[in-house]
Amino acid sequence: MINDKRIVLTLDAGGTNFRFSAIQSGKIITNPVNIEAKAESLDQIFDKIISGFQALIDQLPLAPSAISFAFPGPANYEEGIIGDLENLPLFKGGVALGPFLKNHFKLPVFINNDGDLFALGEAIGGFLPTINMELEKAGNPKRYRNLIGLTFGTGFGAGIVSNGALFIGDNSAQAEINRMRNHLLPATSIEDSVSIRAIKRVYAQEAKLRIDQTPEPFDIYKIAKGEVEGNKNAALKAFETLGIAAGNSAADAITLLDGMLVIGGGLSGAYDLIIPHMVKEMNKSFQSISGNSLERMEVKAYNLQDASDKAQFLKAELKHIRIPRSEQSIAYDSSKKIGVSVSLLDTSEAVAIGAYAFAIQKLGQAE
């Protein structure tokens, strides 16, 4: 993929802005194009998207091979049909965006969820290859092939990658972690405790403020770090609560996948206040009815932003056991480890790399 000269046009579509890029050989090769998403009609949105991609094409040395991008759901991504969107109400009733762009540009068009493409980008060109190189340098033979990417922002998103391929569900509803039950508030979904609104809600409750008096998460983070005035305990509690809630859902997800975990999105900049609580929650034990302790996960999670934890994670714990009825032995590592890290790429960049990788894989299958 690194030597592939085909060019893919990408778009990171948010409720506020459309961000367009062109990628070749895994790298962005044009100046990014940013266009405000706000529009008065569906035709205006179509015109904005067309103009964004056309602005990229005008910068290119050769014709692109495909368009691949992230767009919010609900959607039927395989068919390129976008459903009812809260932040883009003009799409109400369903819009065949993929086929429309395919007709206009005469190119293959692939659309996915941003959480899915974030995970694929980190698996292909970010966290996963980096940690595997670090394991190699440390003399550890272990290599990781599976990854869950979590995005913390307006909502709580996820994507799953196994052996370099994005996991795709039968109904374009894969990795919808936001629909998990919130163990802190069992009548609600996890997104009520893992989102921007959750940070503000907990801060307001702890600081005894009305929600309209509550600072934005970036300012709450600064308060927690002691950089600006405010209720520091309330700020710390807000990020602790998010970390505990996210850690509980992450433990459920990891139990099914058994792979590495990387976080991104707007709130991930506060990883130092989130990941420690996530890892602690993931490594908690159950207590059985008989009173025995049972580890929450069969694997142990390590905070890869912590130097001590990372050193333990990278260290091989090999022993040699003899093969029965022979003089041969085999190296065996009985430890089961996963790592939790913040994204090594800017989230938008990871989404773009993921969109590129998905298109190249699909184009390869079509050849």
What confidence score (pLDDT) does residue 92 get?
Answer: 77
Low-confidence ranges of the chain (pLDDT < 70): 1-2, 15, 86-88, 365-367
What confidence score (pLDDT) does residue 6 get?
Answer: 94
158 in a structural domain = yes
**Closest by CA position to 10, among listed 117, 148, 122, 155:** 117
What confidence score (pLDDT) does residue 73 get?
Answer: 77
What confidence score (pLDDT) does residue 336 get?
Answer: 95
How many domains, the chain? 2
* CATH number, domain containing residue 296: 3.30.420.40
- Residue 186, helix vs strand vs coil: coil
1 in a structural domain = no
Q: What is the DSSP string of 193-242?
A: TSSHHHHHHHHHHHHT--GGGPPPHHHHHHHHTTSSSS-HHHHHHHHHHH
Q: Whole domain around residue 90: which residue ranges?
A: 7-113+360-366
What confidence score (pLDDT) does residue 12 get?
Answer: 81
354 in a structural domain = no
**Closest by CA position to 362, among listed 68, 42, 7, 38:** 68
What confidence score (pLDDT) does residue 38 get?
Answer: 84
- Residues near 45 by Cβ (< 8 Å), separated by ≥ 6? 37, 39, 88, 90
DSSP state for residue 323 in the 8-state scheme:
P
Same-domain status, 107 and 54: yes
Phi, psi of 165 (to 5 degrees): -115, 135
Residue 138's alpha-carbon distances to 75, 131, 325, in angstroms, are 43, 10, 33
What confidence score (pLDDT) does residue 91 get?
Answer: 77
Question: What is d(CA 126, CA 121) in angstroms, rounded to the nearest whole number?
Answer: 6
User: CB of 350 within 8 A of CB of 118?
Assistant: yes
What confidence score (pLDDT) does residue 359 get?
Answer: 95
Is 0.85 topped by the overall pTM? yes
353 in a structural domain = no
